[in-house]
Each structure stands twice: as structure tokens, then as C-alpha cells.
Amino acid sequence: MTQSTPEKITLYGTAWCGDCHRSRLVLKKNEIDYVDIDIDGNKDAEQIVLEVNGGSRSVPTIIFPDGSTMTEPSRRELEAKLAEM
């Protein structure tokens, strides 16, 4: 499965991931409308994460409408990216 460019920010993560929780909080704090996809039990979503990250199941993986991606961004890195949008 090949990823397509989303219309909204798409966050691929898990319920148990602390970095995912932090990224969700940053998006909510900045009032960003985004799609949150849990890859646990979702083989299609997991495959997208693997493709984006060269075979690594690294979360959060965030795909932006411009096609750019971030994997495991810090709070500052994510906030800087959002400021560019």
C-alpha cells in the first residue's frame, strides 16, 4: 500500500506511546484539525508507517498535506513545522 497525500495532517500512532500523546497535545493546543490513526491492529496503517520510515515501526509518524513527514518529532520540532503552515 502506498501512502497518498492527506488533505489534513494525519498522525499515525498508538494508544500507549508517550511521544504520540505529546504530539496530539501539541496539535490540539494549536487547534489543528487532524486525523488520528492507531496502527495497532490496523495492517494498512502500519504498512504506511513502515514505508515512510524505511521499514521501522516508529511512531508517531505524521504526514502533512504538503506530503512532508515527521517521525518522533520533539514538541519544538512539531511546533516549528506548524508555524510554517
pLDDT for 36: 98
* Residue 36 near residue 25, CB atoms below 8 Å: no
Residue 83 resides in a domain: no
Give the gyration radius of the chain's Cα atoms. 12
For range 23-32, the mean pLDDT: 97
Q: What is the pLDDT of residues 28-58, one digit of tens each?
A: 999 999 999 999 999 999 999 999 999 999 9
Backbone angles phi, psi at 71, to 5 degrees: -125, 125
Q: What is the CATH number of the domain that holds 38?
A: 3.40.30.10
* Residue 37 near residue 11, CB atoms below 8 Å: yes
Residue 55 resides in a domain: yes
* Residue 59 near residue 20, CB atoms below 8 Å: yes
pLDDT for 3: 56
Residue 13 resides in a domain: yes
Residue 2 resides in a domain: no
Average pLDDT of every residue of the chain: 95
Residue 27 resides in a domain: yes
The model's pTM is: 0.91
Residue 25 resides in a domain: yes
Range of the domain at 33: 9-76
Lowest mean pLDDT of 2-16, 23-37, 55-69, name the range: 2-16
User: Structural domain tally of the chain?
Assistant: 1
